[in-house]
Amino acid sequence: MASHPFKSMFRNMGLLKKYVRINASASTFCSDSINVQISGQISAEELTIAEVQERLINCMGIDRGYKPLQSSRSHLLSLLPTSQADLPPRKMSDSFASVIIPLKDDVLLQEKYVASEGYVRLGRLLEDMDIFAVWIAQKHIQNPKQKPEDNTPYVIVTVLVDQISFTSYKAQHDANIRLSGHVSWVGSSSMEIVVWLEQFAHGHWEKMTRALFLMAARNSTNDSPALVNSLVPENEKEKEILMGGESRKKRRIQFQQQSLLKVVPNTEEQKVIHNTFLQTVDVRDPTIHKRVLPPNSMWMDEVSYSSIIFGQPEHRNLHNKIFGGFLMRNALELSLLAGNLYSKYHPELLHISDISFRKPVNVGSFINMHAHVVYTEQNFIQITVFADVIDPVSSQTVTTNSFQFTYKTPADVVRIIPRSYSDAMLYIDGRRNFQHVMGLG
């Protein structure tokens, strides 16, 4: 078996010492100092995730209260650089920060985060990680044209979530959670952000998850890319982190080039499809159109679960679109429901991968989410969730997002079988994602 691609998932946490103090330059997005303690208490200078969101609103100069039409930010365009050379290089430590979700003493906040089993709702954490990734990206940017009193001319959007891997630790709903992270790779206008979560329990911080977000910097009117500072490693460890980001970029390009919408399945995958087909027909019967479901199996087209969400203003992000974290939370919770109903167990979430944000979703949209069990192997389930925006007038749909979830159950599950060619492509795509996150290919 190949080594797991995330077996060193917390190795870069060496950037987080027992006590860290980070100061941002006065010409950056904000000039906070963040104090990270080893205890589970919140220090006087440590920000909560709610305070981070408030500061993002202030620094972007966004109008308070929902308005269908936001004030123009076109006057900030002149503050943007015309060349990356105009921006000073940055270090990973420049963007490093930690913030707290203060669950320990806030009973009302606990109600928002608690799941039915008494653990933390992972979907809520996805929302916080998305906000925090924007915060980290803004901290990385240092723009000489921007004065301390200026609103930021940058708009940061989530392009995709490469992978989120979970440990076996079950987060409790009544103990503080710490989010930490930094920029780990930079292109011309894109930034990879590594985020990890820990919870204070039994006198120390328990590792919960590690995530990789790819963020894009846009100009103040959100209609073209905006250049960001380059990233310079300070030591061998940071060189390794930077190279990892470059490798993931190449893998994403290769994955896109090998998309089943562009090329036929490879030889091995064709054999998988054909062998699966042969298991559903009587090879002695010359009329191969008679399909028979093998024992302990289910047809893929009979296993799907859906929900329709109305995108209310309270679900909007800083740019008056539906918040990506809100979409991730609902997709995760639908996938959990699908995994539970399919396996008859409460499955353990291992990985979230290949979350793509193809198009922004407007406030007021009807969002149809549908989850499909696309691949199974022993006691593992791969679930794909699609988010479609429905036009209320024409009833036409546009797929804006897709999500991949990998679950584990206590016992082997019923095997999923594709019946049509389109289902076979979903099966192969799910198999590819499963093999990648599990380090099998």
Per-residue pLDDT reduced to its tens digit, 402-423: 999 999 999 999 999 999 999 9
Distant-in-sequence, close-in-space partners of 178: CB < 8 Å, separation ≥ 6: 36, 98, 99, 100, 101, 197, 198, 199, 200, 205
pLDDT of residue 12: 43
- Residue 132: closest CA among 181, 83, 192: 181
- Name the more confident of 392 and 150: 150
What was the pLDDT predicted at 32? 37
CA–centroid distance for 399 within its chain: 17
| pLDDT computed for residue 36 by the predictor | 36
Contact of 179 with 49, CB cutoff 8 Å: yes
Burial string for 218-243 (b: 16+ CB within 10 Å, else e) reads bbbeeeeebbbbebeeeeeebeebbe
Assign 410 to helix, strand or coil.
Answer: coil
Instruction: Note the pLDDT of residue 9.
Output: 37
Q: For the purposes of burial, counting CB atoms within 10 Å of the CB of 308, is it exposed (0-12), middle (13-18) or buried (19 or more)?
A: exposed
Instruction: Enter the pTM of the model.
Output: 0.85
Query: How far is it, in rounded angstroms, from Cα 143 to Cα 228?
Result: 8
First to last CA, the chain: 9
Contact of 166 with 407, CB cutoff 8 Å: no
Please identify, in words, the CATH class of the domain defined by 258-437. Answer: alpha beta
Q: What is the pLDDT of residue 312?
A: 92
State how far the alpha carbon of 36 is from the alpha carbons of 139, 176, 207, 370, 418, in Å. Answer: 17, 13, 16, 40, 50
* Within this chain, domains 11-235 and 258-437 share the same CATH topology: yes
d(CA 400, CA 151): 30
CA 234 to CA 94: how far, in whole Å? 11
Q: What is the mean pLDDT of residues 102-115?
A: 94
Cβ atoms of residues 137 and 215 within 8 Å: yes
Yes or no: say if 91 and 234 are a contact pair by the CB < 8 Å rule: yes
CB 192 within 8 A of CB 184: yes
Distance, in Å, from the CA atom of 199 to the CA atom of 177, rounded to the nearest integer, reads 4
d(CA 388, CA 399): 4
CA nearest 195: which of 179, 217, 178? 179
The number of beta carbons lying within 10 Å of the beta carbon of residue 337 is 14
Question: Distance (Å, rounded) from C-alpha 204 to C-alpha 216?
Answer: 35
Q: What are 296-306's pLDDT values in tens digits?
A: 999 999 999 99
Q: Assign domain 11-235 to a CATH class.
A: alpha beta
Using an 8 Å Cβ cutoff, are 375 and 382 in contact?
Answer: yes
Which has the closest alpha carbon to 297: 377, 417, 405? 417
Query: Is a pLDDT exceeding 50 seen at residue 2?
Result: no
Say whether pLDDT at 262 is over 60.
yes
In angstroms, the CA 413 to CA 140 distance is 45
What pLDDT is recorded for position 45?
57
| 356 CB neighbour count, 10 Å cutoff | 15
> Could you tell me which residue, 355 or 32, shows the higher pLDDT?
355
CA quadruple 411, 344, 211, 201: dihedral, nearest 10: -80
- pLDDT digit string, tens, across residues 7-61: 333 344 444 333 233 333 333 344 333 333 334 444 445 799 999 999 998 888 8
Q: Comparing 1-15, 41-55, 388-402, 426-440, which segment has the lowest mean pLDDT?
A: 1-15
DSSP string across 349-397: EEEEEEEEE-S--BTT-EEEEEEEEEEEETTEEEEEEEEEEEPTTT--E
Report the percent of the chain where pLDDT is more than 90.
Answer: 69
Where do the domains of the chain lie? Answer: 11-235, 258-437
